[in-house]
Structure 1
Amino acid sequence: MDYSNHDERDPDPWLALYLDDSIPINSTTKEALMRDNSSKSVRYLLPFIQIWSKVTMFFIHVLKYFLPRGFNSSRILHRILAWGLKNFVSPDANLLIFRHFHVGTEILQFIAGNIPGIELVGNPLKPKDFESIKDDLFLKHDLNLYNFVINLNRQLKEKGLSIKPPEKINLAMITEDQFDHIEFPNKWTNILDLRSAIELFTPFYQLFLTSNDFIRASNSLQLDETIAIYTSQILGTPAHLGLVNNKHPMVPVTTYSAAYRLVLHGLAAETLHEILVKMKVSKSRDGIITPYG
């Protein structure tokens, strides 16, 4: 972002946040997020899209009550998502969406790789193109998270183990990917910002998934706190928990707020991942460091 034209009588709030380093976040992600926040799409389209999304979700909720399995098709949903992302979503928003799957996969791999005695076989999701989305990518992301929590805690209970700082922390699975290896479409139609895209896609998500799948997807956002606690137990420090906004998974929040909380979910994953990246860069070249304590 350009700060050569800074006007002290009319400061750019997104420039201020871009220059501020108090919150750890990947530099490419941060620049994309700030450009996304200051886009014309946010100013002129998002308010109308939010109203349309909430009203549409209400009627789909009523429809699902009478026809709970009338429109269920994850295959159709993900084809719509792939088509929409490719043709209408901005390069910055697409970058943020694609990065989220890579970051989330590495965080789960970090937790699994730093609890001695636990063996977890995950389903890594690192999409490289829009075709990857068609393979139920978004649904698998939610399933991965719940299956991870269930399988992890089942083994901890069966083996009488607990999560605690290991002798050496393994960061080999954490990458410093700047995501410059994917070129996202930038046609005149690719204008939607991240929040507008999520608000538009959420009713389709609700329509084409079962009620269980949609509610589970919405509630999974509050597992940010759970994943952050696992990580703090491994690192031996609770410092990064203050960066988590989606909390209290045992008290679910209405699905009407899912779009906003999804953006917070992405930010929480990015900040946690950047903390791990900085640990790897500053303290080790081979990915093995001593935990805090």
Structure 2
Amino acid sequence: MDFQGFFRKMKHDPGDPDPWLALYLDRSLPIDERAKAAFLKSQRSTTRRVVMPIIRPFARLSISGIKLMKILVPASWQSPWLLHRSIYWGLRLFVAPEANYLILRHFTIGTEILKFIEDNVPGIDIQTTTPLRTRRLEDLLDNTFTVHDLIFYNFIIELNEKLRADGREIEPRKEIDFSAITDDDASIDDLPNTWRNVVDLQTAIEIYTPLYALFLSDHHFWRASNSLQLDEIIALYVGKILNDPLPVALVHNHHPMVPSSTLEAGFRLTLHGLDSETLHGHLRKLKAEATRAAAQGARAP
């Protein structure tokens, strides 16, 4: 789908400039152009402007009510099966193509960022993570959202256990291995695009967050919510490998040792998506520069 064409067709009116056109044309963030267009088109939508501010307080109130209800429910009760099927049918029936595109794409770029770190820490072979490359909404039915959270925790635990055992830390690399970073935007197949598919990304996230609280145990919901603040840790790993502080400046979910309230999970989940896109975009840009430099070196006499 041509998300960029939506902005290319827009006419600039100096007397009434469109804020989202300005952000689309701006190139200060290293983010994939198609993903940025999809994100901004979603943010510019009527549902984001009108419905989301109404939904958000009710969603947060629902989370509080569910947490109170969970006091009376056995701590072990949860149903990831119901959670993922609720999300799947909501995405298929009501969520806009640009939002579905970004959701499916998210798991691929997360997989590539973790693999980049693993490839650039010598002697490390992570065994506890599973690559996620989602291309269809049906791919989400295999507990993909909860597995995604577990992957990040397991990656950090296994990586640091092995580094501690060897008495070493992540260090800058002279020769960076960018093989994990690709231009694969998941080429999303058969995204639903009916008259019902109008809900934007952020509104959908605000609606789905209470479902996490409902269908996961309180412990698992807190863990999923706090995983969003791992963005800072991942960016620090990337920054150490590159010997560059910029990756940390590109993320906004900070301080995992001081967890934010689960009531803010919907907003921070949107930030998590943007953090992942900018970090992956930065690595794509560096890979392209390294490829060009290598090609020029090969042509030099």
Q: TM-score range by the shorter chain?
A: over 0.9
Structure 2 stretches lacking a partner, 5+ long? 1-6, 295-301
The correspondence of residues 145-184 of structure 1 with structure 2, limited to 5 A, is 145-184=152-191
Match of residue 141 from structure 2: 134
Share of identical aligned residues, percent? 46
Match of residue 70 from structure 2: 64
CA distance in 1, matches of 2:213, 2:266: 12
Q: What's the secondary structure of 2:125's corresponding residue?
A: coil
Q: Are residues 1:264 and 2:246 paired?
A: no
Q: Are residues 1:212 and 2:219 paired?
A: yes
Match of residue 132 from structure 2: 125
Q: What's the secondary structure of 2:102's corresponding residue?
A: helix
Cα pair 2:63 2:213 within 8 Å, conserved: yes
Following TM superposition, by how much is the alpha carbon of 1:166 offset from its aligned partner in structure 2, in angstroms? Answer: 2.6
Following TM superposition, by how much is the alpha carbon of 1:182 offset from its aligned partner in structure 2, in angstroms? Answer: 2.2
Q: What's the secondary structure of 1:77's corresponding residue?
A: helix
Distance 1:150 1:54, change over 3 A: same
CA distance in 2, matches of 1:178, 1:148: 23
The correspondence of residues 15-26 of structure 1 with structure 2, limited to 5 A, is 15-26=21-32
Q: What's the secondary structure of 1:83's corresponding residue?
A: helix
Code of the aligned partner of 1:276:
L
Q: What's the secondary structure of 1:188's corresponding residue?
A: coil
State the Cα RMSD in Å.
1.7
Moved more, 157-166 or 257-266: 157-166
Please, which of 73, 76, 87 is the counterpart of residue 79 of structure 2? 73
Match of residue 279 from structure 1: 286
TM-score by length of 2: 0.92
CA distance in 2, matches of 1:181, 1:252: 34
Code of the aligned partner of 2:22:
A
Cα pair 2:63 2:210 within 8 Å, conserved: yes
Following TM superposition, by how much is the alpha carbon of 1:243 offset from its aligned partner in structure 2, in angstroms? Answer: 1.5
CA distance in 2, matches of 1:285, 1:137: 36
CA distance in 2, matches of 1:95, 1:131: 13
Cα pair 2:96 2:200 within 8 Å, conserved: yes
Code of the aligned partner of 1:191:
V
CA distance in 1, matches of 2:92, 2:72: 33
Q: CA offsets, 1:115-158, max 9 Å, x none?
A: 00211122011112122111110000000000000001000001
Q: What's the secondary structure of 1:118's corresponding residue?
A: coil
Distance 1:113 1:203, change over 3 A: same
Distance 1:70 1:166, change over 3 A: closer
Q: Are residues 1:107 and 2:131 paired?
A: no
CA distance in 2, matches of 1:48, 1:118: 47
Following TM superposition, by how much is the alpha carbon of 1:107 offset from its aligned partner in structure 2, in angstroms? Answer: 0.3
TM-score by length of 1: 0.94
Following TM superposition, by how much is the alpha carbon of 1:161 offset from its aligned partner in structure 2, in angstroms? Answer: 1.9
Moved more, 172-181 or 251-260: 172-181
Following TM superposition, by how much is the alpha carbon of 1:164 offset from its aligned partner in structure 2, in angstroms? Answer: 0.6
CA distance in 2, matches of 1:25, 1:282: 15
Please, which of 12, 19, 24 is the counterpart of residue 18 of structure 2? 12
Match of residue 291 from structure 1: none
Match of residue 55 from structure 2: 49
Code of the aligned partner of 1:239:
L
Following TM superposition, by how much is the alpha carbon of 1:183 offset from its aligned partner in structure 2, in angstroms? Answer: 3.0
CA distance in 2, matches of 1:17, 1:32: 12
Following TM superposition, by how much is the alpha carbon of 1:34 offset from its aligned partner in structure 2, in angstroms? Answer: 1.1
